[in-house]
Amino acid sequence: MNRELTSGQRTAVDLGPLAVFFAANYLYGIMAGTAALMAATIVAIGITYTMERRVPLMPAITCVFVMIFGGLTLVFDNEIFIKLKPTIVNLLFASALTTGIVLRRNLMKVMLGRVMQLTDEGWLIMTKRWIGMFIVLAVVNEVVWRSVDTDTWVSFKAFGIPVLVIVFSLFLVPVMQKHQIKTPDGD
């Protein structure tokens, strides 16, 4: 089987591990939730690879960090590691995109250039906005995990962050429309 996941399937595969994390945490606590997140992430990667015969870069990177921080959480029996993961990952993504700009190699264009065609100015605007969003997500994660109980943080991680990213993405639509490169046939 070698076919692309539909957008609905992709969403289910991408958000499935967060739903499993939330449910396991709710029923059994953060350690079980962390172990379930790790297992569900591996399953999601397996489904993606089985269907598409490849694993996109972002889910692969996320999987590595889930394994590292989830493993540290379980080995040391300390939830701080899983709570720090979103902060560190978001700051690393912001740093990678910033480094790309400095080196004049737009990483967003490299990763998404097959999916959408934008002007160089459009890619730069999108990249700068994503850098800002990753920094905001890191700061918000720090504020939330340090100021609320673990169950509330897990709910925020499972539902709040995805909603923030979706809303942010909707604000990028006008940028994409304005800077989209039109093909000769008008598509």
Least confident of 51-60, 68-77, 163-172: 51-60
* Whole-angstrom distance, CA of residue 46 vs CA of residue 51: 9
For residue range 94-152, list pLDDT tens digits in order: 999 999 999 999 999 888 877 889 999 999 999 999 999 999 999 999 999 999 999 99
Three-state secondary structure call for residue 118 = strand
Contact yes or no for 58/10 (Cβ under 8 A): no
Three-state secondary structure call for residue 180 = strand
For residue range 17-48, list pLDDT tens digits in order: 999 999 999 999 999 999 999 999 999 999 99
- Neighbouring-strand partners of residue 180: 118
Which of 120, 96, 36, 19 is CA-nearest to residue 70? 36
* Domain definitions of the chain by residue range: 1-76, 79-187
The model carries a pTM of 0.86
- Neighbouring-strand partners of residue 118: 180
- Predicted pLDDT at 59: 87
Residue 166 neighbours by CB under 8 Å, 6+ apart? none
Neighbours of 76 (CB within 10 A): 10
pLDDT classification of 6: cutoffs 50, 70, 90: confident
- Rounded to an integer, the average pLDDT of 155-180 is 93
pLDDT classification of 55: cutoffs 50, 70, 90: confident
Biggest distance spanned by C-alpha atoms of the chain? 58
**Percent of the chain residues topping a pLDDT of 70:** 96
* Whole-angstrom distance, CA of residue 36 vs CA of residue 66: 11
